Structures are given as C-alpha cells and as structure tokens.
Amino acid sequence: MRKFIVICTFLLTFAFVTACAKHENRPRADYGMMALQTYYQNFEEITIDSDLIVEVELTGNTKQFNYGHADWSVADAEVKKVYKGDEKFKSELIQILEVAPLDNTSENYVNKKHLLFLKKYIGPMIEDAYVIAGVYQGNFKIDNEDKLIYEADKYHGYISFQSKLNNQKISVAKERIDVALKQTKLVNDSKPAK
C-alpha cells in the first residue's frame, strides 16, 4: 500500500509540474529574477557608463519576438532632447531593445515620455538599437508635470540612487548629468598624456 501511495504521489506531482510548465498565461519575467549586466549604485556611475542619455517620446510602435528562449520587445522612440551623446539624434527615431513587458497590455507604454540612460546594443538580435543601462535602472517615466517617476520596485527591481530622483523635476536630473560629465572631463583632463 505504501508503494502505491508513493507512486501515485510521484505521478500526480509529475502531471502537475508538466501542466504548469505548458501553461501559456504564466508571467514572463520579474525584474527581481533578472541578472543585471551592471548594477549601478549611483547616478554618476550610470551617467558616465551610458552612451546616450535622452528624453524620448514613445511612438507606440513596438514589435515583440522570441530569441534565445526569452521574449523581447523593440520600441520606437522619438528623441526630444539629448543630455549626453551626439546631438544628431534630436528629432530622430531610435529603437529601444528590452525584455518584453511582463504582460501583453500596453500599460508599460501608457506614459510615453521617458528619460533613458542607454547603451548601444551590439549583438545578433537587431541592428542599430539601444538597451536601457542596467536593464531597467536607466528608465524614468516623465509625468505631465515634468517629474521623474521610477517604478522598477513595482516589478521587484533594485533601487539605489533612483529614490533621490523620484518625483523630482527633470531639470534636477539634467543638472546632475551636467555635473557628472564635467567631473569626468576634469578627471580625464588631469591625467597625464600617454
């Protein structure tokens, strides 16, 4: 009788696990489960490491695809202001590559204005695209009052320096970007030539 109970328990567990693995409506991802390429601990670090820092407006044009057993999204964004990087991007469309939203609704794109800290994507999935620095750490929504909103904590993401910018005017971030870039230039200018 004991063998029968053990075998039945094993079969039920196996059937349950198999059914759950095939369930189509399970959540895709959770920021808390993602390994960050780089975890930025302060504002200066993400500012210096970013190739492009821009204020953008999402166009609503997105494509989703699967690559390497993960769901990805590419969103078109019109650059409104350039805070770091080539001014040629102003008024241009750029593509933002990221892990697909946690659900299929457009909730992630409701607020269309963002301040993004970006790194140039180099890889096989797409040409001429950017990724958000720190996966999500460099993504701030901009509300109707030009205040920055950081929401990664809603998806179990890390918060380090972002809390100091949350609900601040975008002009505060612009000043901090300028200071970080000037300090970097001063440090680089003071290094002896090779």
Give the chain's mean pLDDT.
75
Fold of 33-189: OB fold (Dihydrolipoamide Acetyltransferase, E2P) (2.40.50)
Residue 21 has pLDDT above 70, yes or no: no
Tell me the average pLDDT across 171-190. 81
Task: Tell how far CA 72 is from the center of its chain.
Answer: 12
Which tokens sit at 54? 């821009």
Report the percentage of the chain scoring pLDDT > 90: 30
Domain assignments of the chain as residue spans, ordered by start: 33-189
Categorize the per-residue pLDDT at 147 as very low, low, confident or very high, splitting at 50, 70 and 90. very high
Q: Exposed/middle/buried for 51, CB within 10 Å: 0-12, 13-18, 19+?
A: middle
* DSSP conformation class of 99: E
Task: Look at strands 70-84 and 139-142 and give their pairing.
Answer: unpaired
pTM: predicted TM-score of the whole model, two decimal places? 0.73
Which band of pLDDT confidence, cut at 50, 70 and 90, is reported for residue 9? very low
CA separation, residue 176 to residues 73, 92, 159, 170 (Å): 30, 25, 18, 10
Average pLDDT over residues 3-20: 38
> In angstroms, rounded to a whole number, what is the distance separating the alpha carbons of residues 69 and 162?
30
